[in-house]
Amino acid sequence: MAPPLLTLKDVRHGFGGTPCLDGAELAVAPRDRICLIGRNGSGKSTLLRIAAGLIDPERGERFVHPGVTMRYLPQEPDFAGFATTRAYAEAGLAPGDDAYRVSYLLEQLGLTGEEDPSRLSGGEARRAALARTLAPEPDLLLLDEPTNHLDLPVIAWLEQELAQSKSALVLISHDRRFLTSLSRATVWLDRGQARRLDQGFGSFEVWRDKVLEEEEIERHKLDRKIANEEHWLRYGVTARRKRNVKRLGNLHALRAEARNYRGPQGQVTLAVSEAESAGKLMIGARNIAKTYGGRTIVGDFSIRISRGERVGIVGANGAGKTTLINMLTGGIEPDSGSVLLSPATALATLDQRRDSLKDEWTLAEAMTDGRGDFIDVAGERKHVMGYLKDFLFTPEQARTPIKVLSGGERGRLMLARALAKPSNLLVLDEPTNDLDLETLDLLQEMIADYNGTVILVSHDRDFLDRTVNAVIMADGAGRFTTYAGGYSDMVTQRGEGVTARKGQKGKLSAMAKTEDAAAPSAPATPTPREPKAKLSFKERHALETLPKTINKLHADIDKLNALLAEDGLFATNPVRFNKAVEALALTQAKLAESEEEWLRLEMLREEAEG
């Protein structure tokens, strides 16, 4: 058996208070495929940096077998001093390494090598860092969140590249499918300890639940043993006469063990504030198109999204996903076609760039925008400290500036802000970035329980399969196609997943920049359509009066909901309660019909006006 490439023994490290690593160990043999699993803040990145030799632990041993080559992929690469991405990637080569491999990797990752590192997007920075890390083909690769900010074509390529690599891997990722495909062993960081399972991530969750169940049984046995010993201490005849010193000492030891027990880290509590339900129709789009700088971003797309639907949008970076969302939610106007939003739409968004967070804000200020110490969540008035605690933030952190937060903590804070806003339409743009697996599970459950409509942009295939019931696929040429089901269902129907357009690998960065930098005011000349017959007098009259009817129906629904919410109504006046229930159902049905007719007539008007 070959000796380990890397060994960590009895590693202890912390940043004040309880150490995040306390006796953790790691051994990596040649060709190992290890995934490192744990909650945000459990010490995964710290352990990987110790393994890479970037920081020294407070205690413990690190041994690297002589001659072993190693490369580490950080979450936030440092490009200081490099004029181009090629110069940055080539700086990772050692004497004797093949410089051509840098060119190969840059091309495969959609970079030209001439990009200015100071102007890279998050996805471009990640791809440049991957090129630098993979180019030397080292004996050991230490990869910290390699799929973050990557699109699906690049993730699929990276998965294949790593599967064919001869390097040993230690991998941190939140992408379940990526982990399941690549890992053959799992190291679980839990309460400072590293527990190893010699099976891949696919077996981890069942094993973890079994470990925690056995731990709970042992904890219960300890409590029972303490209770029995305390009973003996109080009532045992021998105890009253002799005070058995040894047995009393055992009891003190048991109590100390119980006091020092660190249970599993708490879970995030996700609760979403829901606005009053809108009608059946949330969004209606017909023949919408958008062009920037001569390139068609969205071309002739139509869709109807009803209340309660969960729609995923997928595609390569720069394919137009964000532009489509902005048009569907009223952020920008289409060059042609029409988009109709329900009048009762209450929108909440999760911004993947987190631009709405100011570094100088404290966490509490970020939640309240600096207005007081209370927020309304799901109809309840909560103190901001209590709400932040639901997202695993400590009271001490509530007064610290945002700039000191990790990526995962920023992700949780953005979720807390988005979910606190009353909504019936939730737009989540890359919500999975930096979140740990347990938080992703809870976010998935929240989406399932949410009564409103969800539009979700993600490159996480497993998360899409678990959450959406329809997928809109962007091919990068302005074409968007809708498929029923999750991501795997789309692959079955298409015969392939999301891919970069042929001949476009090196142009993906330019495509993404075109979409990001395009000004909404740059109109395109729409393709002229054959004008349809004008609306009849009856249809024009209905189009003018329907908005008032819809608003009145919404007001009637609000009154009926308020009546049904009265305490004791059913007990004191069941007849009135039942009539109100029937009236509510009838009014909601009328609202749905009115919205459908309004949408139909608006589409006819748009076409008639050319």
**Residue 340 to residue 328: CA distance in whole angstroms:** 8
Instruction: Answer whether residue 76 shows pLDDT above 80.
Output: yes
pLDDT digits (tens, 9 = 90+) for 526-563: 344 444 457 787 887 887 888 888 888 888 887 888 88
Q: Helix, strand or coil for residue 166? A: coil
Alpha-carbon distance of 54 to 127, in angstroms, equals 22
pLDDT score of 345: 82
As beta bridge partners, residue 483 has 471
How would residue 248 be classed by pLDDT, with cut points 50, 70 and 90? low
Q: What is the dihedral of CA 122, 126, 128, 131, to 10 degrees?
A: -170
Judged against a pLDDT cut of 90, whether residue 113 lies above it is answered with yes
If one compares 352 and 451, the residue with the highest pLDDT of the two is 451
Q: Does domain 267-346+422-527 have CATH number 3.40.50.300?
A: yes
CA-CA-CA-CA torsion sign (122, 123, 128, 129): positive
Q: Is the pLDDT of residue 266 over 60?
A: no
- C-alpha–C-alpha distance, residues 483 and 538, integer Å: 37
**What residues contact 441, with CB distance under 8 A and at least 6 apart?**
none
Average pLDDT estimate for 279-307: 86
- More confident position, 523 or 453: 453
How far apart (Å, rounded) are the C-alpha atoms in residues 453 and 427?
A: 9
Output 73 or 421, whichever has higher pLDDT: 73
> 577: which 2 tokens?
């309660």
| Predicted pLDDT at 42 | 81
Higher per-residue pLDDT: 397 or 236:
397
Dump pLDDT digits (tens) for 312-325: 999 888 888 889 99
Give the separation between CA 198 and CA 183, rounded to whole angstroms. 10
Distance CA 53, CA 70 (A): 10
Are 413 and 389 spatial neighbours (Cβ–Cβ below 8 Å)?
no
Q: Distance (Å, rounded) from C-alpha 243 to C-alpha 48?
A: 51
What is the percent of the chain where pLDDT is above 90?
Answer: 29
Q: pLDDT grade, residue 55 (50/70/90)?
A: very high
pLDDT of residue 591: 82
pLDDT at 159: 94
Between CA 526 and CA 454 the distance in angstroms is 30
Burial environment of residue 541 by CB neighbours within 10 A (0 to 12, 13 to 18, 19 or more) = exposed
Right CATH for 537-608 from 1.10.1040.10, 3.90.1150.10, 1.10.287.380, 1.20.58.760: 1.10.287.380
pLDDT in the model for residue 247: 53
Tell me: pLDDT of 160 over 50: yes
pLDDT, position 522: 35
pLDDT at residue 188 is higher than 70: yes
Q: Given pLDDT bands bounded at 50, 70 and 90, which one contains residue 34?
A: very high
Q: How confident is the model at residue 67 (pLDDT cuts 50, 70, 90)?
A: very high
CATH class of this structure's domain 6-206: alpha beta
Question: Is the pLDDT assigned to residue 514 strictly greater than 50?
Answer: no
Backbone angles phi, psi at 200, to 5 degrees: -70, 180
**Which of 510, 519, 513, 475 has its CA nearest to residue 313?**
475
CA separation for the pair 147, 150 (Å, rounded): 5
Say what angle helices 437-449 and 407-420 make with each other, to 10 degrees.
10
Q: What is the mean pLDDT of the chain?
A: 80
> What is the distance between the alpha carbons of residues 203 and 186, in angstroms, rounded to a whole number?
9
**36 forms bridges with which residues in the sheet?**
187
b/e sequence 288-325, b meaning 16+ C-beta within 10 Å: bbbbbeebbbbbbbebbbebebbbbbbbbbbbbbbbbb
Distance of CA 368 to the CA centre of its chain: 23
Are 6-206 and 267-346+422-527 equal in CATH topology? yes
Kindly report the pTM of this predicted structure: 0.70
What are the extents of the domains in the chain?
Answer: 6-206, 267-346+422-527, 356-417, 537-608
Q: Which two tokens stand for residue 495?
A: 């015969």
Q: Ramachandran region of residue 247, left (φ > 0), alpha (ψ -120 to 50) or beta? A: alpha
Higher pLDDT: 572 or 514? It is 572
More confident of the two residues 365 and 460: 460
**387-399 average pLDDT score:** 75
- Please give the Cα distance from 395 to 595 (Å, whole number): 47
CB 275 within 8 Å of CB 423: yes
What is the tens place of the pLDDT at every residue in 81-99?
A: 999 999 999 999 988 888 8
3-state DSSP assignment of residue 572: helix
Q: What is d(CA 9, CA 50) in angstroms, rounded to the nearest whole number?
A: 11
Structure tokens at 235: 């009532």
Asked which of 58-67, 107-116, 255-264, 394-403 is least confident by mean pLDDT, the reply is: 255-264
Place of tokens 């200081």: 80
d(CA 330, CA 536): 28
Residue 267 confidence (pLDDT): 56
Amino acid making up residue 124 = E
